[in-house]
Each structure stands twice: as structure tokens, then as C-alpha cells.
Amino acid sequence: MLKLTVRTAMLALGLTFAPLASAADFTGKTVSFIIPFAAGGGSDVWGRFDAQFLSKHLPGKPAVVIRNIPGGGSISGANLFAGSAKGDGLTIFGTGGSTQFPYLLGLQSVKYDYREWRIVLAAPTGGVTFVSRDLGVSSLADVSKLRGQKLFYASQGVTSLDLVPLLAFRMLGIDVQFVTGFPGRSEGLLAFEKGEVNVDFQTSAAYIRNAAPLVQSGRATALFSWGVLDGNGKLIRDPNFPNLPHFAEAYETITGKPPAGVEWEALRAFLLAGFPAQKLIVLPKDTPDDILEAYRAAVRAMLKDDEYLGKRDAFIGEYEQVTDKDAEALYSNAIAISPAARTWVRDMLQRDHGINFDK
């Protein structure tokens, strides 16, 4: 009644109304959700879980279909998205730490600038590092037994998210051979299960669903998680794995001193870039505001959805996904590395792993 009265008064004064912007509508449409990793890994599990709720809450209830494009530690899928996705809301992209790391390192194969993308959602995650029980390690207290043994890790590439465990093992003085060429962490876990490698790391979603049973059955031993950040930016234990030390705790337990120095500065920078804002849903840079808002509104509805809340922990763990300004802040604050640490990492990768940053 009030709106009608105000409108009538304004018309009487000869005032007019600008038409409301038309809301995005995806009725009868299909949204392609690009996941730049193979099916079955942590990013794939996360993407498929969120996709069903985006479909439910986007206007017009479009089908949201996962499109796995593995390769190059996620670079292939990211380059494809950056080069071909239109701003019509029908193509979205799910990033991972492996998408951010090559950009931070300045790899020539990167043809995208993720800072230009429009952020829909930021999804913090964690991860757990574990080893085969055949190595004689039943807890972190036995980690010294790993030294001198032949240790193998199935890697997507040392400039992918696997850079975090690579730096971690270096700091711990544990010599692990990284066998590269695996398209995703799911293939790495399969190689672990087959006994082809004996060291592995999985992000939380994949660990909870696929790797934790190996630990529970006695086939593997969990060593540490990567931890999460508290409100003050301090590394604390991951609430999904409260009985596991985070890496800094594990390091101090093993060495008797807290981590420090440029190597730790580098590891911490990539750890933060890879996990607090590890998974993002983004739209192309030329996406109109009404389409971005439609996606963010869908996320806001998803985060209140009883079905989502009931299933979330089983699929992605106890991590609060966020949107709007919180997503933007989490993303920008997590991406930071000092010039000294960046130079140290590049030099180490070039010297020890043959990475040519000029190609």
C-alpha cells in the first residue's frame, strides 16, 4: 500500500521511473562447470557437491554439468576457460591451489590472470599427508624411520599444489622422489593403493571420503594436516582432523624448534595460497553484474539450505564456504609472497627439478 501511494504521488509530480534491470534467468539452459582436474579428486568431489545446489538455487534451475579438463596441474583447464568462456553465465570455473601456484611462480605456460575473474565463492580447505604402513611408521613419532628409505610420491608436477608437500618434506629432511605426470590427486591415491608409491597427500574432501579408510584399516599412517588459519591469521589445527598436528607443530615435534627462515616463509606463503582460498568458483571478467549477483544469491541460498548443511561435512568437511565481500577478502589476503621467498622457490625448482621459467 505504501509503495502504491508513493508511486502515485511521484506520478502526480510528473516524475518517471527507470526500468528495473532484468534479472538473469537460466531456464532451459545448461551451465558448464569446468574442473581442471581428473574425476575423483578433491576438487572434483567439491565441484560435484556444490553443482547440485547451484542448479537448485540459480534462477531457472539450469543443469550444472561438471566438465573435467585435467592437464598441466590445472593450467590446461584454466587456459581454456580464460580463452573461450563468455560472460553469459553459462561457463563457470573451479580453481585450485594448482591454478594459483603457476601464476605466482610466473610460468610462461600460464595464459590467464585469475585476478581478472569475478569471484562467486571461496572455499577454504585443508589436507592430510600420509605414508604407507609398510614403511614401519605408525605415528609421527616414528617419522625418523622414513630417512634412508626409498620414498615415492605421485605428483601432478612440482609447480602444482604438490609444491606444498615438496617444500614440507625438504624442511623435514626427508628425501621423497616426486614422480610427475599424474593428471590429478585421485590418480595419485590409486597409485598409493596399488603400492606404486608410498607417500601421498589428499585435500580434505578426497581424504575424508577415499583416504581415511586406508588409515582406519591400518594400510596407511596419517602424519599431519596443513592446518587452518584462525581469525588472527595464526596457523591452528584443522577442525576436521583435531587429533593430527598441523605442519608447523609436526616440524617442531620432529626438530625441536619452530619453523623459520626463507624456506618456511616460502612454504607458508604457498600453503596459505593453496588452502585458505584453495577452491574458488569464478566467472569470466566480462560477466555483467546481474549474472554475478544471480550466482552470489544462489550461493547465499545454498549456504542456508538444510540439505546442503546436512551433507556438507561428509563431502567437503567443516569448512565455511563464503561469497560476496568475504570471498573477495579471503582470496586477496591469502595470495601473498615476498620477493625473497619467490626467488628462493624459483631458484630451488630450477636447480633441483629442472623447471625452466624462461619457456
pLDDT in tens, 205-263: 889 989 999 999 999 999 999 998 776 778 899 989 999 999 999 999 999 999 999 99
Mean pLDDT of 41-46: 87
CB 238 within 8 A of CB 227: yes
Q: Which domains does the chain have, with CATH numbers?
A: 30-125+277-334 (3.40.190.150), 127-274+347-352 (3.40.190.10)
Given a cut of 60, is residue 196 above it in pLDDT?
yes
205, 150, 184: which is closest to 316 by C-alpha?
205
Q: Could you tell me the CA-to-CA distances from 345 to 91, 104, 172, 262, 348 in Å, in that order?
A: 34, 11, 16, 9, 5
What is Dmax (Cα atoms) for the chain?
88
Alpha-carbon distance of 183 to 122, in angstroms, equals 24
* CA end-to-end span of the chain: 67
pLDDT at 88: 97
Q: Phi and psi of 264, rounded to 5°?
A: -70, -40
pLDDT in tens, 290-329: 999 999 999 999 999 999 999 998 888 778 899 998 888 7
Alpha-carbon distance of 71 to 147, in angstroms, equals 32
pTM check: above 0.85 = no
Of residues 22 and 147, more confidence is placed in 147
Task: Report CA 269 to chain centroid distance, whole Å.
Answer: 14
Alpha-carbon distance of 124 to 43, in angstroms, equals 12
